A and B are shown apart, each in its own frame.
Chain A
Amino acid sequence: MKTSFILGAVTVAGLTAGAAFAGTLDDVKARGKLNCGVSTGVPGFAEPDANGVWQGFDVAVCRAVAAAVLNDSDAIEFVPTTGKTRFTALASGEIDMLARNTTWTFSRDVDLKFEFVGVNYYDGQGFMAKADLGVSSATELDGATVCIQTGTTTELNLADFFRSNNMSYEAVPVETGSEAVTNYLAGACDVFTTDRSALAARRANFEVPTDHVVLPEIVSKEPLGPLVRHGDNNWGDVVRWTLNALITAEELGVTSANLEEMSKGTNNPEMNRLLGSEGNLGEMLGLDADWAKRAIAVSGNYGEIFENNIGAGTIIGLARGVNAKWTDGGLIYSPPFR
C-alpha cells in the first residue's frame, strides 16, 4: 500500500516534471533538432531507403514541420516507434510529435491526453481476395475464411461487418501483417483484411498483383493523422498549421515548381498570407514569415506528397479517393489562412 503510494507520487512528480517543459517550440529551437516519432516501417508511409534516409508520406509531415521551425528538413531525429511504444514515447516527452499512421479515436484523444492536429490520410478497413475466387463485393463473402491480425480494431470491425450483413466467417488469427500475407498467399485463408492502404502496399509486391483484388467495401473509419501532447497548444498549432499549409497550398495551386514565383506576391490575398508576403501569420505562431513557404518547399504541397509517395504513379498506386481535396469531392480540407 505504502510502496504503491510512493510509486504513484513519483510517477506524478515525473509527469509534472515532463509538463513543466511546456514550451516544446522553444525546446525544439534550442535543440536545433525535431524529435519526430515514426513507425518502424510501413511501405510508402515511413521507410528508410537503402541509404538509410527516411522516406514516406508520414515522414513528409515531420520534414515539413522541421523546415517550418528550423529551416532544415533534415534537422530531425527520427524515433522509430512500434504500436506498443508510440504513445508512451510521446507522453514522456521523448518525441515532440508523432506522425505514425495513428487512428484518431475518442479514447486516444481524451483518455490518453493527446491532441490530434488533423488528418493526413483517411483510411478504412478493406478486404483483399484472390481474383479466381470470383467475388466482386465483400457482401458475397458468406462462409469465407479470413486472415486477421489479432488485438487490432480491424478484428472487431470484421465481426461487426459480418454480423450486420448476416454472414458467417471463419477467422484465421495471426500476429503481424507479414504473417497474414504469407498465410493468405499460402491459401490458409480466402480473404485478408486490414487497412486499405496497407492492402494496396502489400498487393504491389505480390508475384502477380493482378491475381488479387481489393474489394470496394470500406468497413471502418480510420482517420490517420499526426498528434502531439495535450497541454502545449502553441506547439500543437505549429504542427496543425504546417499540415494545413500543405493542404491549402494544394487548394491554391502552389506547387514546388511555382513556389518561388508565387511567394514574390500575387493578387490572391490568401496565398500571400500563406507564403508570408502579406500579414503576420508566421509571427503569431512564433515563427518567421517564410515558415509555410519552407514547409512547402521540402516536398511540395499535399497533393504532390501524396502522388510521390503513395499515389497512382508509385508502386503502391493508391487513388486519391476520399483523400482528394474537398473541391474534388474528397475530405481533405483546411480552415482558411486568415
Chain B
Amino acid sequence: MSENNSFVRKEMISERIPPAADRGLVKWVRENLFSSAFNAIMTFISLWVIYSITVAVIPWFLNGVWDAKTVRECYDLLDGKSGACFAVLNERFPQLIYGFKYPSSEYWRPNLATVLLIVALAPILFRRLPRQLLIFSAVYPFLAFWLIWGGSILTSVSAFLGCAIAVICYRRFSSRSFALAVLISLIAANVWWIIGGYIVDLNASFLSLEVVASRDMGGFMLNLLLGTIAVCLSIPLGIALALGRQSGMPIIKWICVVFIEFIRGVPLITLLFVANVILAFFFPPDTSIDLILRVLIMMTFFNAAYIAEVVRGGLAALSKGQYEAADSIGLDYTQSMRFIILPQALKISIPGIVNVSVGMLKDTTLVSIISMFDLVGMIRGPILSSTDWNGVYWELFGAAAAIFFVVCFSVSKYSQWLERQLETDKR
C-alpha cells in the first residue's frame, strides 16, 4: 500500500532557481521595459533617443579643443570635425568667475572670502560643531566686506564694534522694556558709528587693501555674493514679516500684509529695473547709492516676502493647542515664539525656505538684464559679443549650468539631510 503513495512527498524539494524568464536582468527588463506593447515601443524610442544624443555628444566632448586663442583657431584645429571649443572656458575663466574688472592680482581675496564663508556657515549648518565657532560667524560679514571691497580694515572693525555695542546695550536694557532697549541700542550704535567714522577717516590707510568698486564685481562671484547676502538677510526679515502678519496689532499686521502682497504681486525683474533705473532719478547724480546695494535691497525684499509666506504656512500648520500650551505655562509672546512655536514652524518650513532660496540664487542671473555682468551677463555680453568668441554658445552656457547645478544641488542635498536630522516626531 505504502508503495502506491509515491505521490506523497516525504521530504521538501530543495529550492530551485526561478525560470530564466523570471530572474535577474531578464526579469527586470521584462517588467520594467517591456511589460506591455506600449511600454515596449516607448523603450525602443527612448533607446533611439539616448543613442542619437550619445553619438552626437560624445565626439563633441572628446574632440573638444582646450587650447586656442579665438573661435576661428578652434575651427581650424577641428578641421571640419564636430567638436566643442572649450578653449573659451580656459581663456576667459577668470572673467566667468570674477568678472572682467576685478583686478587679477586681488583674486585671492574673493577666494579667501569664499573659503571663510564655508567656515562661517559650518557652525550654523551643522549643530555638532563647537558653538564657539559662532563667534567667527558673527565676525565674518565684516571680514568678508573688507576682503571683497577692500579699503581700510578699520571700516569693518568700526561697523562691527557698532553692532556689538548695540547688542550689549540691548542685553543690558531688554529686561526693562523691549522698545526702550531697541531705542537705546540704536542711539548708542549710531553715536559710535559717527565717532568711528572720524577715526577711520584719520587712519584710512591702516591695513588697507586695494579698493574695488561694486561696479567692478562680476562673474559667478557676483551671483554668489548677491545670493548669499540676500538669502541671509531675508530669512530673519521673512520670519519677522510672517509673525507680523499674524500679529493682533492692526498697524503692524497691515504693514506686513501690504508689503508681502505688493512684493509678491510684482515680478522680480520689475523691482530690479526700479533699483537700476528709476531710483537713479530720485538721487542727485553724485550721491547715488551703490548699484549692488540697490539690487541687494530689492532682492532681499523679494525673497523675504516669499519666505514670509512659507513661514506663515509653517505657523498655520501648528495646532492651536501649541499656542495655548505656551500661554498656559505663562510664557510671554517672545518666549512662546522662541521656545515653542518657531522651532516647530521653522522645521516644517525648511523645504519651502530652501526651495525659495535656491530659486533666489538662480534668480540672481536676472541682473544680467540690467547690465550687471554676473555669470550669465558675462557670457551674454562681453564674451559672446567679443570678436574672438562670438559664436560659442553651448560650451559657455553648459559651463554656467554646471556651476549652478553643483551649488544648487549641494544646497538641496543639505536641506534634505537637515530635515532628516530634525525629524523627531514622525519616525
Contacts and interface: CB of A to CB of B under 8 A. Distances in A.
The 8 A-B pairs at the shortest CB distance, nearest first, are namely A41-B385, A40-B381, A52-B100, A93-B285, A92-B280, A205-B391, A88-B277, A14-B281
Interface in A83-122: 84-85, 88-89, 91-94
Contact of B284 (A21, A182, A206): A21
Interface in A270-304: none
B281 A92 contact: yes
Contacts of A52: 95, 100-101
A91 B281 CA distance: 8
Nearest to B69: A50
Given A18-B284, A85-B276, A201-B390, A43 B385 contact: yes
Interface stretch (A74-82, A159-167, A247-255, A259-267): A74-82
A315 B391 contact: no
B233 to A, nearest CB: 25
A48 interface: yes
Interface in B350-370: 369-370
Contacts of B369: 82, 84
A206 B92 contact: no
17 contacts: A11-B281, A21-B286, A40-B382, A41-B382, A41-B383, A41-B386, A43-B387, A79-B215, A84-B369, A85-B277, A85-B370, A88-B281, A94-B280, A178-B380, A178-B393, A204-B387, A314-B387
Interface residues of B, number: 40
Contacts, number: 110
A47 B277 contact: no
A42 B387 CA distance: 8
B384 interface: yes
Contact of A40 (B95, B380, B387): B380
Q: Is the interface of A mostly helix, strand, loop or mixed?
A: mixed
Contacts of A42: 385
A81 B371 contact: yes
B91 A50 contact: yes
Contacts of B371: 40, 79-82, 85
A88 B381 CA distance: 19
Given A82-B371, A315-B72, A178 B281 contact: no
B244 interface: no
Nearest to B370: A85
Interface centre among A82, A91, A176 (most CB of B within 10 A): A82
A50 B377 CA distance: 16
B198 interface: no
Interface string A1-44: 00000000011001101100100000100010000000111111
